[in-house]
A and B are shown apart, each in its own frame.
Chain A
Amino acid sequence: MRTHGLRRFLVEDGIRHLILAPLAVLIVFPIAWMVLTSLKPSAETILWPPKMLPQVPTLQNYYEVFVRWPFLRFFLNSLLVSGVSTVMILLTSSSAGYAFAKIKSRWLNVIFFVFIATIIVPFESYMIPVYLLVNRLGWLNSYPGLILPFVIMAFGVFFMRQTIQAIPDELIQAARIDGCSEFAIFWRMILPLSVGPLSALAIYAFLNVWGFFTWPLIITTTQEMYTTEIGLTLFQSQFFIEYGLVAAGATVTALPLLLVFFIFQRRIITAVTLTGLKGT
């Protein structure tokens, strides 16, 4: 029995470990480097030959990050903007995605393709008209102004439509016949079935808004409204980069996303599937 278990391990897991382990090490290395750099005093960041571990580990960088600029405020701003945007994106993407996936209509297909077309255009290209609009609304340098471009995400609509399409039509037809309103079907049946994809989307939406630099840069005019991305550029002087500070700032800003990922990771990978009633 033991030998059998060992051989199974070698064949099933062993090969996978052989391929995955070196890849994982390579992938994680730069992140580890970044975190370790954040613990090094300034002089150590330019050591040659480079040393992996800090000789004199210090939290000085983290201290400076929060002291030189009101980084905590930036952090809270980012949290608020990203959090609200994510919730709105989840709502709009799933409800619209359901409509596009399960309600048959030529019109809806047309609208869907128009939505998809907007993913293609990078935000930088139409940023100016949006800026002018926000200026006219008087929302410059305010939370509504920061959040406005991010209440919808075409990527999200596309993604939810693809995943909701996989839910069998029969279930929905049955519910309709039973007299459920579309709202009820959506809220009571589709959403719970989509927890996995919704979790993945939550992570991506959060990441996307959190990391967006250009929009907050031009829309904010006073420091109290800056986000963490703007805060990080403040550490870069024109002539040189304080690597320790940037690394510390990056590590700090990565933490909430890691938390979000941790919370949702299990949901993503244990998405409920229905066996036996599969369609493509």
Chain B
Amino acid sequence: MTTWRWIRTGIVAAALLACLVAPLAATAGQPVKLTLWSGYPEMKPYFDAAAKFYNELHPNVTIEVSTFPLRDIERKYAVSLPTNSGPDIAESHIYIAQMHIENGSLVPNPPEVTTFLKSGVFHPLFVSDSSWQNTVYGVPVLFSLDSLLYNTQMFKEAGLSAPPKNWDEMLSMGKKLTKYDAQGNVTRSGLGLRLFGAGSGVAAKWWYFLKSAGGDLFEECTPKSGKYRAAYDNEAGRDTLKLYIDALYKHKIHEPKLKQDAEGFANQQAAMFVRESWLVGYMKKNAPAVQYAVAPLPAGKKTNTLLFWTNVYVTRSSKQPKEAWDFVMFMANGPKLKELEQILYNTVGWMPPRNDVAKRHPNIYSEVPQYKYFAEVPKTYELYAYPRLAVTDEAFTKLAERLVKAYQDKSLLDNPTGIAKAIHEAAEETNEILKENKLYCGK
């Protein structure tokens, strides 16, 4: 019993001591400390290096980098940004940032930063889509186009010499590339498709094909009206759903039970799939032996692809906005630009967003040919960005759930009425979301 008493007293004493020490422990640090949060853990090497280089130039400034999985950082942003208890610098992609921009939690760019952005160093889409009410927010830090990755070895074996250029070729080549076992089950997918996983991913991936088919998630009823409606309750939407259903049940070129997405491609369980350039970093680290190449996204009725990027923003929580902006500009246009871009190319996989990278890295596309079509596409391609509305996340997420259900519904095969019904109900839900947020404009 006495041992128990001793343990107890010891713990209580330690606890009281800790409570005294605590306020001191939390405030140790350098004169200027900036915090940077990112929802992209693979970017840690880049931000760490930037922080290190900056500290060499400004020894009194340290930058603490924290990266979280995207789902968790959304939560942190949701709670901390509106209450001004967030980081100095926040990395985010557009439609998540939009909510916080509208709420005033993110600081507009100082004039010199905006001038820099509009100086021609960036594709105009970066600037126009980072603007809200004629003010520009954020500085791009990474980007990639969405393109098709394909396993060159598998293509050679199947006797295919070039990647597919359109949907028909995509399906027929996919069929040739699929391997089956004795019972007719797919053991290797010809075309990898995103079929499940909570969140908006399923819908976002469906949406690229929707755009190729000529549809979109939202459309503005009249230009500049600020009112929208769902834009996929039409032939484009039905065709895109039909593409998936046919791929799954008619041609049987994808199997849900195999490893999905990047892991599937790395394990050579998929011959083709659509993703962004971070795959290059991933494949280099996890499956260096796999031979693969990259081609522009196969065209549907329209020839286009997504320009994906993220911005770094300075937040209203920052008590040192001047230093924060200085660091942001250091990353975007500082003396160590070449080294930082090198880290992106070599380790991370995401690509530097400036369009003058050829000056500093003239041989990058011959050294790593896979980057080429993640960075450029033929002139025939139109580039678009994610919808910028704050309700995009909700719309995508709810649509994703409906799509997941539809993909598991075998009865939709050769069933135009069924497909039309599924699409129509999904579009109704999207319109409901718009109505709830007073963004709907009617039929």
Contact = CB atoms under 8 A, between A and B. Distances in A.
Interface of A: 42, 46, 80, 83-84, 86-88, 128, 131-132, 135, 140-144, 192, 195, 214, 217-218, 221-225, 233-234, 236-240, 267
A142 B18 CA distance: 11
A223 B22 contact: no
B344 to A, nearest CB: 16
Given A222-B35, A224-B28, A233-B69, 10 more contacts: A83-B15, A87-B8, A87-B12, A135-B83, A135-B85, A143-B18, A225-B26, A239-B261, A240-B262, A240-B282
A192 B8 CA distance: 12
Contacts of B33: 222
Contact of A238 (B12, B18, B19, B39): B39
A83 B14 contact: yes
B70 interface: yes
B192 interface: no
26 contacts: A46-B263, A80-B18, A83-B11, A83-B15, A84-B15, A87-B12, A88-B15, A135-B85, A142-B22, A142-B23, A144-B19, A144-B23, A217-B72, A218-B75, A221-B35, A221-B85, A221-B86, A223-B66, A236-B41, A236-B69, A238-B70, A239-B261, A239-B262, A239-B278, A240-B286, A267-B4
Contacts of B75: 214, 217-218
Interface in B257-273: 261-263, 267
Contact of A87 (B1, B4, B11, B79): B11
B76 interface: yes
Interface of B: 1, 4, 8, 11-12, 14-15, 18-19, 22-23, 25-26, 28, 33, 35, 39-42, 64, 66-70, 72, 75-76, 79-80, 83, 85-87, 261-263, 267, 278, 282, 286
Contacts of B39: 238
A142 B8 CA distance: 24
Contacts of A128: 79
A88 B83 CA distance: 30
Contacts of B22: 142-144
B17 to A, nearest CB: 10
A124 B28 CA distance: 31
Contact of B4 (A143, A195, A214, A217): A195
A233 B83 CA distance: 24
* Residue with the highest number of chain B CB atoms closer than 10 Å, among A80, A87, A236, A238: A238
A141 B27 CA distance: 10
B64 A234 contact: no
A123 to B, nearest CB: 14
A206 to B, nearest CB: 11
Given A142-B23, A237-B69, A240-B262, A221 B278 contact: no
Contacts of A88: 15
Which applies to chain A's interface (DSSP): helix, strand, loop or mixed?
helix
Given A218-B79, A237-B41, A87 B15 contact: yes
A128 B78 CA distance: 10
Nearest to B11: A87
B196 to A, nearest CB: 15
A238 B87 contact: no
B291 to A, nearest CB: 18
B69 A143 contact: no
A208 B68 CA distance: 23
Nearest to B78: A218
A238 B278 CA distance: 11
A128 to B, nearest CB: 7
A86 B11 CA distance: 10
Given A87-B12, A143-B18, A217 B76 contact: yes
Contacts of A192: 1
Contacts of A142: 22-23, 26
Nearest to B317: A221
B351 to A, nearest CB: 16
Nearest to A225: B26
A234 B22 CA distance: 24
Contacts of A132: 83
Given A87-B15, A236-B69, A141 B80 contact: no
A234 B15 contact: no
Nearest to B275: A239
Given A142-B26, A143-B25, A222 B19 contact: no
A131 B35 CA distance: 20
Going nearest first, the 6 A-B pairs with the smallest beta carbon separation are A143-B22, A84-B15, A237-B41, A218-B79, A142-B26, A87-B11
Contacts of A223: 64, 66
Nearest to B263: A240
Contacts of B263: 46, 240
Contacts of B72: 217, 233
Given A142-B23, A143-B25, A239 B76 contact: no
Contacts of B11: 83, 86-87
Given A141-B26, A234-B41, A239-B261, A222 B64 contact: yes
Given A221-B86, A224-B26, A131 B261 contact: no
A16 to B, nearest CB: 31
Contact of B87 (A83, A86, A140, A221): A221
A221 B84 CA distance: 12
Nearest to B262: A239
**Which of B15, B33, B87, B278 is most buried by chain A, counting CB atoms within 10 A of its CB?**
B15
B42 A237 contact: yes
Contacts of A87: 8, 11-12, 15
Contacts of B41: 234, 236-238
Nearest to A48: B267
Contacts of B262: 239-240
A93 to B, nearest CB: 14
Nearest to A43: B286
B172 to A, nearest CB: 29
A224 B11 CA distance: 23
A188 B12 CA distance: 18
Contacts of B1: 192, 195
Contacts of A225: 26
A67 B42 CA distance: 16
B15 A233 contact: no
Given A222-B35, A238-B70, A131 B79 contact: yes
Contacts of A143: 18-19, 22, 25-26
Given A87-B12, A221-B86, A239 B282 contact: yes
Contacts of B18: 80, 84, 143
